[in-house]
Structure formats: C-alpha cells, structure tokens
Amino acid sequence: MAQTLYDKLWSSHVVHTEDDGTALLYIDRHLVHEVTSPQAFEGLRLAGRKPWRVGSIVATADHNVPTDGSELGLADPTSRAQVETLDDNIRTFGALAYFPFRDKRQGIVHVIGPENGATLPGMTVVCGDSHTSTHGAFGCLAHGIGTSEVEHVLATQCLLQKKSKSMLIRVEGELGKGVSAKDIALYFIGRIGTAGGTGYAIEFGGSAIRALSMEGRMTLCNMAIEGGARAGMVAVDDTTIEYLRGRAFSPRGEQWDRAVEYWRTLKSDDGAQHDRVVDIDARQIQPQVTWGTSPEMVTDVRGQVPAPEDFADPVQREGVARALQYMGLTPRTPIEQIRIDKVFIGSCTNSRIEDLRAAARVVEGRRVADNVKLALVVPGSGLVKAQAEAEGLDKVFRAAGFEWREPGCSMCLAMNADRLEPGERCASTSNRNFEGRQGAGGRTHLVSPQMAAAAAIAGRFADVREVV
C-alpha cells in the first residue's frame, strides 16, 4: 500500500505496540539543552539509572546564555546554575557532542543539530523543546517532548507515542519577490488556526516547498508547532542531500552512498492518502505580519487590524478584543501605520545564514529609524556568526545601527537580559507573539527577516517589496 512519509518514519521506529495502539518508538537523536533537562538527569540519578545510549545525545546551552559577549559571562546566578548543571550532567553521563557556553560551535539547539550533520534523514529526533519540529525539514520524525519524556528517552532510548493523523499542506506555484518561508508559515497558521494541526503530523509538499532551501524548510517546519502539530516534515531531495554532504557528523565514504540510497526513499509514495490536505497557492501569499497574541492572528502587510465584531464566535471575539487591548491597537489601523520600538532578528525560526543574508540585503546602505530604540541581530550559532562575518554581514548591520550579538535564544523568549519592557512594540523574526513572551507587557509582531529589516529602517511596518 502507498505510504506517506510519516507512515514510513513511524513504522521504521516501532519497537513494540500496546493493545490500544500506544507504541514504543525508538529515538535516534536526543538533543539536550539546559532548561528542560536538569530535572530529567536528576530523576535518572535518583532512580540509579544510566542513559541508554549517550552516543545519541547532542547538547548545548542556548536558552539562558547572554548575547552581549560580556566578560562577566553568566551574571545571573540562576541562569548560571542551570548552565553549570548541564555542564555537570554531560561531564558525568557523556554525549556524542557538547557545545557549551562560549564554544565556537555553541548555538541554538535547532540550528546546531542540522549544521553539524547531527540531524539526518530518517531519524527520530526529540528534544525538550517544542520547536524540535524544525528537524523534520530533513525528512525526520522530529518533535518536542516534556521533561518526563526527556528522562524516559535518556533511560530507555524510546518514547511512548500514539500515531498521529497525517496532514499534507501543499503549496504550489512560485513565491513572489520579498515573500519567504516565514510568510508561508504564518499564512498557513492563519488558514488552519493554532489548533488546526492538533493531533496531526504535517508534511509540507508542493513545488513551492521543493524550491525552498534547507534553511527555508527549517523555518517552515519550525512553525508546525504553532499550527498545533508536534511534527512538521519535508521529503528528502537533492537539496537535502547537498546540504548534508561533508558536515561534521554526516556519514562518509561507502556509508554516505548507502545512506543516500536509503534517504531517497523518504518521501510520500504516489497515491498515499493523507487524513487532511490543505492546498495553498504560493502566489496568494503576501508578506505577513501578526497583530495579536497568537500566531493565527495574522494578516498581509497591506492589511489592517481587524475588529472583534468581524468574528462570529463569541469566545474568539472576546479573545480578539483582549488581544487588541494587550497589543494597544485600534481596529482598522493599517498594518503599515504601526510604529515599532525594537527589532529582533534571530531565534530557531530565523537565525540561519540565509535569514541574515536576506535581512542584510534590505538593510545595506540604510539606517535604522530614530524611533527604534534597539535593533538586534542574534546569529543562531557560532558557525553562523563566523560565516556571516566572513561575508561582511556584521558590518552591514552595524553600519545601519543594529547590534551584532553572540548566539543564543535571546529575545525570542527573554530568559536572558534581552527583552522588551512593558508596552514596547517589537518586529520579531521569532515564533510566538504570546502575552509576555518577549518580556512582561511586551508587544510582539511576528515577521520574516526581510520584513523585520524593512521595519527597522522605516520605524514602522513596511512592505519589503517596496524597499528592495
């Protein structure tokens, strides 16, 4: 029978199935960071257990780390304790690779896995972080897990799972100029809603997806979770294979050839049935800007802020009214008239080299507007930073008035010192615009790197297609 990509990834990892269909799924790659792992290692220790296979573990410190390069290092004692706990745990238990704070390959866990070839097609990949869906870009089954599950995977190399339903989001046609993978992501979430993918694994397909680079596919799969799906994935093709060639942990020699032969089977068969199919015409997608406190509250840059009465459902209407109040926005305000205070280019969604190049092209030869108090560029990893500097992108950003920072999660979730103050409004390339996400009382608008750059220059949201 014709199988979907998800069917193939699922069935190749089932170790055992309970009567009710709950399966024990074998995990190939376990990514570990400092925030969701300490209690899991503690649990192992208390139970007198050891990790099942330390060779599956790749670890880094990303959520808490400062990005200002200060000599003080981790000045916040609670952040420091968490990062040092990870250092201790990896020293005690071991790992395939550890990129600690200040290592030149340290970075956001969802950036360093792929760039080191530690994420390979056909793997199951888990991490105590919901944006693990990112790795599905490589034809993996990848999703976030809680800390109890982190402990479970450490102890057993397996996860208890029920198979999800499968959704195909098919994007056909060519994206317009100035429209990126981030806009596809925000657009599909606007279409299906933040709960639209609950209970599903999403496969992204169609000509517009095949035309995306690996960076673009990662951006898209990263946001699958914002559409409610734990896992997003894209079939393997030449783009995938070329990206992986020669990476640190990619197979070599004869093993590379064998691997590639297998990887090429990682796509949905012709005639495979998905439980739900959503068709999107790429030409309809305009640059997107969120206006509310949920990623589904999104519109075109040429659009306007809606009014609560536009929504029929009373719970939704109330939600919109509350969001507009929190965001300090008046119904019917054109998006392009919304002025901003800060700009954040970074996060596991949009901090890869291609994102920085796209933003730099918009910024080059221009200046950040006077009303913008802070414009940050936070590369996703030490390797991305080095690459960007080799290309001179840091100079472009600095000359325009941006700050060029050290890698980390930074202002995506504001666990370190990078944050919004109450009432501040930010154009952000991150993934969540929840209340307080970037700092208590902060107001987040999600956009692509190009659109964040355009907003920095204009001091308000601006259609990047008119800038470049």
Partner 1 sequence: MTPFTTLDGLVAPLDRANVDTDAIIPKQYLKSIKRSGFGPTLFDEWRYMDVGAPGQDHSKRPLNPAFVLNQPRYQGASIMLVRENFGCGSSREHAPWAIEDYGFRAIIGTTYADIFYNNCFKNGLLPIRLPQSEVEQLFLQCAGTPGYRLRIDLENQTVIRPDGHAIRFDVEAFRKYCLLNGFDDIGLTLRQADKIRDFEARRRIEQPWLFA
Indicate the residue among 140 and 388 with the shorter CB distance to partner 1: 140
Of the pair 4, 161, the CB lying nearest partner 1 is at 161
Q: Could you tell me the smallest distance in angstroms from the CB atom of residue 273 to partner 1?
A: 22
Residues 250/120, Cβ–Cβ less than 8 Å: yes
On whether the CB atoms of residues 290 and 298 are closer than 8 A, the answer is: yes
Element (H, E) at 83: helix 77-93
Q: Token pair of 373, please?
A: 């108090």
Alpha helices in 51-146 (DSSP H): 77-93, 109-115
What is the C-alpha separation between 25 and 161, in angstroms, rounded?
A: 7
Using CA atoms, how far apart are residues 339 and 117, in angstroms rounded to an integer?
Answer: 41
Nearest distance, CB of residue 94 and partner 1, angstroms: 15
Angle, helices 449-458/353-363, rounded to nearest 10 degrees:
30
Nearer to partner 1 by Cβ, of 156 and 387: the residue is 156
Q: Are 458 and 369 in contact (CB under 8 A)?
A: yes
Judged by CB, which is closer to partner 1: 143, or 385?
143
- The minimum distance between CB 115 and partner 1, in angstroms, equals 17
The nearer residue to partner 1, 311 or 465, going by C-beta atoms, is: 311
To the nearest whole angstrom, how small is the minimum distance from the Cβ of residue 465 to partner 1?
31
Integer angstrom CA distances of residue 427 from 188, 200, 423: 20, 30, 13
Smallest separation, CB 78 to partner 1 (Å): 4
Q: How far apart are CA 191 and CA 176, in angstroms?
A: 19
For residue 188, CA distances in Å to 54, 92, 215, 219, 288 come to 37, 44, 18, 13, 11
Q: Which residue, 211 or 321, is less far from partner 1 as judged by CB?
A: 321
Instruction: Give me the least distance between CB of 440 and partner 1, in Å please.
Output: 4
Closest to partner 1 by CB, 94 vs 459, is 94
Nearest CA among 107, 161, 155, 159 for reference residue 134: 107
Q: Residue 320: name the closest of 311, 422, 301 by CA.
A: 311
Nearer to partner 1, 40 or 353 (CB): 40
Minimum Å gap between C-beta 228 and partner 1 is 7
Question: Which one, 309 or 318, has the nearer CB to partner 1?
Answer: 318
For residue 176, what are its two tokens? 């317009």
Residue 60 Cβ vs partner 1, minimum distance, rounded to whole Å: 16
User: Shortest Cβ distance from residue 203 to partner 1 (Å)?
Assistant: 16
Phi and psi at residue 382, to the nearest 5°: -60, -35
Q: Given the structure tokens 């030149």, which residue do they identify?
A: 104
Containing H/E element for 427? strand 425-428
**CB contact at 8 A, 27 and 126:** yes
Residue among 259 and 305 whose Cβ is closer to partner 1: 259
Angle (nearest 5°) at CA 450 between 375 and 102: 50
Closer to partner 1 by CB, 86 or 359: give it. Answer: 86
Pairing state between β 23-26 and 298-300? unpaired
Q: Find the shortest distance in angstroms from Cβ 338 to partner 1.
A: 22
**Shortest distance in whole angstroms from residue 399 CB to partner 1:** 33
Distance (Å, rounded) from C-alpha 324 to C-alpha 441?
13
